Amino acid sequence: MRSLPAPYERSKVTCEWLAWLVYQKFWLLTPLDRIRRDLAERSIPLAMSTLVTFIERASDLLAGVDRLHWKQLLGSRWMATDGTGLKVLIPKLPAAHSGYIELYRNDQVAVFQYEADKSGETVAKKLAPFTGTLTADAEHRFNDVFASGRVLEAGCNAHGRRKFRDAEATQPVLAVKGGAFLSTQSRNVRFSAS
């Protein structure tokens, strides 16, 4: 059996090993320190900086796929987005920086992007080529995206749906009806965008 060529020039690992590391880290959600410890127990001592470099190189190799997925999202008629805060350690800063990780997706692809902040200017510039329906939280940072009229706002119903779910214990009939209504509305928005 033949191995794939090295993933990059002067690589110390194979493509298979790099894929295994990415799978461990991002699919199985295994922290790098645990991967490092497990490898050391198998007589494969690696510095944390080496594992981080491997992840960075894998990210570089996948950048073309990421760009294609982003292009597909911007060319689609519907996408959804959500995000959450992310503490980031930046060398020479006294404390962790509060960054932001965003997910953009449709039924075919998903793209995660990091931003240093949640500014509306950044998201408007990023979504400027998009024309269609955007499902997003009701955040002021999306105002400029919707102001152009090229992007139709479809509010995220997750918060409302949680309220209906929470009400099932005290008002089960009304909660089920409310949840069904939100499901119907979500389907209608997505099908009209297709």
Q: Does pTM top 0.85 for this prediction?
A: no
User: What is the structure's pLDDT at 10?
Assistant: 81
Residue 186: pLDDT band (50, 70, 90) is low
Query: Does residue 184 carry a pLDDT above 90?
Result: no
Residue 174: pLDDT band (50, 70, 90) is confident
Q: Which residue matches tokens 């928005």? A: 189
Q: What is the mean pLDDT of the chain?
A: 87
Mean pLDDT in residue range 38-46: 95
Please report, for residues 73, 114, 140, 152, 154, the alpha-carbon distance to residue 158 in angstroms, rounded to integers and kept in the order given: 22, 22, 17, 18, 12
User: What is the structure's pLDDT at 97?
Assistant: 87
User: What does the radius of gyration of the chain's CA atoms come to, in whole angstroms?
Assistant: 21
Mean pLDDT in residue range 18-47: 95
DSSP 157: -
Query: Does residue 175 carry a pLDDT above 90?
Result: no
Residue 3: pLDDT band (50, 70, 90) is low
DSSP 2: P
User: What is the structure's pLDDT at 53?
Assistant: 93
* 3-state percent helix, strand, coil for the chain, nearest multiple of 5: 50, 20, 30
Residue 5: pLDDT band (50, 70, 90) is confident
Residue 185: pLDDT band (50, 70, 90) is low
- In angstroms, the CA 16 to CA 55 distance is 13
Mean pLDDT in residue range 118-146: 91
Beta-carbon contacts of residue 121 (< 8 Å; ≥ 6 apart): 144
Mean pLDDT in residue range 86-106: 90
